[in-house]
Structure 1
Amino acid sequence: MAFWVSPAGTLAILAIGWVVIRGIKWLFRRHWPAQINTWDVMAPLFLIAAMILIPAGAGQIFPWLVIGWMLIGIGVTLLQAIHNKELLYTTFFRTFWRLTDLYWVAGFAVCFLLVIS
């Protein structure tokens, strides 16, 4: 059990998650929505992997990552409301989730580097 909460274990969780998601996407290739890519489904796994690293030393930076994620949501909301003069759920959620993908990949990398250093 100690392996899965180690830095190597979180990388294994991400690799297994990637393979499972790609397999499901391949299995349901006709019914899989074209707008959803593998990274969109991997964002929660990166969040969970960063949470697993909290006891190993990532607890110092993780609350700041969550605050930054909230600020991204507020920023996307304000930007779309001001720029488009309306806030549509589909455009907001697509933009917010794509930024979430990038943010949690970087957030996990920071947590991982903090734990192994």
Structure 2
Amino acid sequence: MAFWASPAGQLAILVIGWLVIRASKRILKRRWPTGLSTWDLMTPLLILCSVMLIPAGAGLILPWLVIGWMSVGILVTVIQAVHNKELLYSTFFKTFWRLTDLFWTLGFAVCFLLVIS
């Protein structure tokens, strides 16, 4: 169990998750939702792996990552409300989740670098 909580274990979890999602996408071909990318399903794994790195030394930056994530949500809401003069759930959630993908990929990288340094 200690391996899965280590930084190498976290990378293994992400690689295994990536391979399972890609294999599912390849097997389901036509039934796979067209707007759904592999990164969209990797975000929960990235959040989980970042949280699992807290005991190893990533606990210092994780609260700031959560605050940043909430700020991304507020920023997307305000920008879409001002620019489009309306806030539609479908456009908001797709934009927010794609930015979440990017944000937590960078967040996991920072947590990982803090732990291994």
TM-score, length-scaled by structure 2: 0.99
Question: Can you list the C-alpha shifts for 1:84-109, whole angstroms capped at 9, x where unaligned?
Answer: 00000110011000000000000000
2:112 corresponds to which residue?
112
User: Could you say which residue in structure 1 is the equivalent of 2:33?
Assistant: 33
Whole-angstrom CA distance in 1 between matches of 2:18 and 2:67: 26
Q: Secondary structure at the match of 1:34?
A: coil
Q: Which amino acid aligns with 1:102?
A: L
Please state which structure has a larger fraction of its residues in helix: 2
Q: 2:60 — aligned with what? A: 60
Higher mean displacement: 99-108 or 22-31? 22-31
Instruction: Report the Cα offset of residue 29 of structure 1.
Output: 1.0
The unaligned stretches of length 5 or more in structure 1 are none
Amino acid at match of 2:83: H
**SS of corresponding position for 2:30:** coil
What amino acid is aligned across from residue 10 of structure 2 in structure 1? T
In the other structure, the counterpart of 1:86 is 86
SS in 2 for 1:33: coil
Separation in 1, partners of 2:85, 2:62: 34
* Matching of residues 96-111 of structure 1 within 5 Å: 96-111=96-111
Shift in Å, 1:21: 0.5
How many residues are treated as equivalent by the alignment?
A: 117
* Unmatched runs of 5 consecutive residues or more in structure 2: none
- Structure 2 match to 1:14: 14
TM-score normalised by length of structure 1: 0.99
State the superposition RMSD in angstroms. 0.5
Structure 1 stretches of 4+ with a deviation exceeding 2 A read: none
What whole-Å deviation, never above 9, does each CA across 1:24-78 have from its counterpart, x for those lacking one? 1111111111111101110111000101100000000001000000000000000
**Aligned residue identity for 1:11:** L
